[in-house]
Structure 1
Amino acid sequence: MATPTPGEPFSEAAGEAVQTAVMATRLVLAIADAVRRHQQNKNKGQEEDLPPADEAVSETAEGIKSLIPSDISAALMKEADWPQMAQQLVALRNAGVDLGQFLPRVGDIAVSVQEQVAANEARVAREHTGEWDRMLRETLPAGPVREAILSSPAWPDMAATMARLDERGVDVRAILASAHDEGLGVDQAVAKVLGAEAVPRMSQDARLSSGPLTIGLKIPPDLDLSDRQRALKQLAISPQEHERYARWVQEAMPGREREAGLLLTHKQWPLVAARMADMEAEGKPVREHLARLGKDVSWEAGPGPQLGSRLVQAANDALRRPLGDGAPESRVRVNTTAARATSTSMDPTKAQAAKGATPAEAGVAPHRQTGPAQKSGKTK
């Protein structure tokens, strides 16, 4: 990296701002390249090879100098990994991205970062890299960009870069939001060249999951629950988070290892985990909600083959209901005797007997019940 002249505070601060802007530029390029690779892999089964580094450098040098501010472009081209960034740019251009429009927007992002660093001398505590999975879920909508980031081999490096930017007082969320828009543009441009749809059609899993399981959740339209690993990435759930949520379920159901296993291996478990992740991000006591699974075992009743589905529904209900709210059966309990009495499949004589045995039926006040009129006590 280029270093400022030592002993000159202003120059040193300016140099740090430029270097931070270079880091932000590198991050945006890495995200754009990850989207390109993801789109090509998804539609062609393989990504296109990068062009030779020396050719890429010569092809992009003039564009970088003319489309990105001079201090940032000069520092960028002095970086040790500049040849790799040049290769990414040429690959994006070959995939259908208009660099004449893309690079000025990247330059705007870099300038914004440069100004933030120059104006903000305060430092914030550095978070662990794993926290950036949660920031992605909170900042980026579910879709091709978020999935491309999390599935990219470069994701750990991206997360580390975000941590360093955050350490320098940069608004990483704003960069991610801007990079997301650029990523969508890359996705559409590459998809257009490949003849693919830029916006994926709603998958059967996304369609069938619509309802109580997904209320309030950001579900990608191409959700694929048949591939557990991909589904978790689509929902921005890191392996560490997934392991933690599975442990919480097992702790909430002591002595019921088999049942906990059925929940965790069910196809729709990632949706339950996604709700847990959202609740955790909002600071809600997820484990206290999950404890209901061990206390209210109404999910046991029913056919054995459907136990996994009932557990998924029970877990979702336990997570969504506010703490202190009564058990669900107390709010939806049915008077089974009365229900059988009104069933058309029941023998009429038994139905009549059942009616006679339930004078105080649910929802009917005693003074409104029908029956023989009482005598007034007067006689003729």
Structure 2
Amino acid sequence: MSMPTPEERAGEAFAEAAAEAVRTSVMAFRLVMAIADAVRRQQQKRAGQEDELADAEKASAEASEEVKKFLPDDIATALLEGADWPQIAQQLMALKRAGVDLETMLPRVGEITASVRDQVAENAARVARDGTEEWGKALRETLPAGPVREAILSSPAWPEMAKTMATLNERGVDVRAILASAHEEGVGVDQAVAKVLAVAEVPTTSRDATLSYGPLTVGLDVPRDLDLGDRERALRQLAIESENPRFVRMVREAMPGAEREADLLVSARQWPLVAARMADMEGKGQQVAEHLVQLSKDPAWREGPQSQMGRRLVEAAVNALRKPVGTSTAPGPKVSTAAARSTSPSVGPTRAAKGAAPTTPGVAAHRDAGPAPKSGKTR
């Protein structure tokens, strides 16, 4: 038998790395599904209406069509060939019966798995950190208190989820980013199941208001029906419609020579919440401009993928506004402790008058929801 040539050995190494990347992305898919299923079970259990899982063979046939339609081909193939596919299929069909729109959810999960696949392909190795306690701590630092985090930590599958997180971390994946994305999906599952079960006796909080839970708007009064998808409406809801142009100018003046980046910040989906923070500070007699200048003095937001620049700018702006002048604007990994202790979203008016400090913390931003995902396969 002849020895493989260097080119052949390189090709085999590339193929193995690619296969490893796909296997890891499938693990990420399983993790997101486990979280979504835990939320579904928790919601149905509270209502005393937990469903039995569908027949595995029937669920596999039905779910396979959904997976092939919305996931990248390599990831879909690996998922369908896995020994645990029947169980995953049952989870998917249970979510569908509970009211979750898989045609909306699966493309977003496809984005997550594709991102994981690419991360593993680009990262050869990272120092391993494992153990349930560590990942429980990471979960509390990454996700705000609420139904999603409660469902994860109380699920019988939590120990296995923790092991999966440790393995993903070993393979160079940003587990906290996956958890943040999975939290958004969990919120959607929670709301969809609650709507079908009609368990909520109070008006349903909008997705934007729910996802705006955390450091971004802690201490601000945010309406339940916040709609960040409609810029004009969001500005009206936050009572800053007439002041917004001035706040935009303040940002541009604070970032000389970075006009493009300033435009990315003020055009970001969550900009109205940043502007609301500025208005709140002015009402309290604080010098907003002095805080904003930190964006130029400490441009830590420049570090990272260009595609996430807008998100980093939003986080940096909020950090600059909330922290004392001269403090780093680099976004930290932890969710605000004050926000994590808050459990009741605000239902009152947004801002009655300048100078009136809010008395109830609102629902504030945990993470940037980002643009609406495109349907179809993720590449």
What's the CA shift for 1:219? 1.7
- CA root-mean-square deviation: 2.4
Rg larger for: 1
**2:44 pairs with one of 25, 40, 45:** 40
> 1:263-278 alignment to 2 at 5 Å?
none
Name the CA shift for 1:46/1:66 in 2 (closer, same or farther; >3 Å).
Answer: same
Match of residue 108 from structure 2 = 105
1:1-380 correspondence to structure 2 within 5 Å: 8-43=12-47, 45-197=48-200, 216=338, 218-219=340-341, 221=343
Shift of residue 220, structure 1, vs aligned partner? 5.1
Decide whether aligned partners of structure 1 residues 6 and 84 sit closer, same or farther in structure 2, where only a CA change above 3 A counts.
Answer: farther
1: CA distance, partners of 2:77 / 2:337: 49
The separation in 1 between residues aligned to 2:337 and 2:141, in whole angstroms, is 16
Change (3 A) 1:56 1:97: same
User: Residue 233 of structure 2 aligns with which residue?
Assistant: none
Percent identity of equivalent pairs: 63
1:82 partner amino acid: W
Classify the secondary structure of the residue corresponding to 1:8: helix
What's the offset of the Cα at 1:122? 2.5
Q: Structure 1 CA distance, aligned partners of 2:26 and 2:152?
A: 19
What is the letter of the counterpart of residue 40 of structure 1?
Q
C-alpha displacement of 1:57: 0.5
Give the Cα–Cα distance (whole angstroms) in 2 for the partners of residues 95 and 46 of structure 1.
10
Shift of 1:215: 7.5
CA distance in structure 2 between the aligned counterparts of 1:97 and 1:215, rounded to whole angstroms: 31
Question: Cα offset for 1:217?
Answer: 6.0
Unaligned runs of at least 5 residues, structure 2 = 1-8, 207-335, 345-379
Displacement after TM superposition at 1:46 (Å): 4.3
- CA distance in 1 between counterparts of 2:342 and 2:33 reads 23
Shift of 1:47: 1.3
Q: Distance in 1 between matches of 2:21 and 2:192?
A: 32
SS of the counterpart of 1:216?
Answer: helix
Cα distance in 2 for partners of 1:144, 1:74 equals: 32
Alpha carbons of 1:18 and 1:141: their partners in 2 closer, same or farther (altered >3 Å)? same
CA distance in 2, matches of 1:126, 1:215: 24
Question: CA separation in 2, counterparts of 1:173 and 1:23?
Answer: 15
Partner Cα separation in structure 1 for residue 154 and residue 205 of structure 2: 18
How many residue pairs are counted as aligned between the two chains? 206
Q: Structure 1: how far apart are the matches of 2:108 and 2:76?
A: 14
CA distance in 2, matches of 1:154, 1:10: 34
List runs of 5+ in structure 1 lacking aligned partners.
Answer: 201-213, 223-380
Distance 1:100 1:53, change over 3 A: same
Conserved in 2, the CA contact under 8 Å of 1:143 and 1:220?
no
**Aligned partner of 2:13: which letter?**
P
- 1:113 CA drift (Å): 0.2
Give the Cα separation in 2 of the matches to 1:7 and 1:16.
Answer: 14
CA contact (8 A) 1:25 1:106 kept: yes
> Structure 2-normalised TM-score?
0.52
Distance change in 2, residues 1:217/1:93 (3 Å): closer
How far is the alpha carbon of 1:92 from its aligned partner? 0.2
Q: 1:6, 1:12 within 8 Å by CA — same for their partners in 2? A: no
Q: Secondary structure at the match of 2:131?
A: coil
Letter in 1 for 2:102: L
1:6-64 superposed Cα distances (whole Å, 9 cap, x missing partner): 98100000000000000000000000000000000112x24111101001001111111
What TM-score results when the alignment is normalised by the length of structure 1? 0.52
Q: Distance in 1 between matches of 2:75 and 2:89?
A: 15
Match of 1:159, SS state, is helix
Q: Measure the CA separation in 1 of the matches of 2:52 and 2:10.
A: 42
- Which of structures 1 and 2 has the larger relative contact order (alpha carbons within 8 angstroms, sep 6+)? 2
Amino acid corresponding to residue 26 of structure 1 in structure 2: R
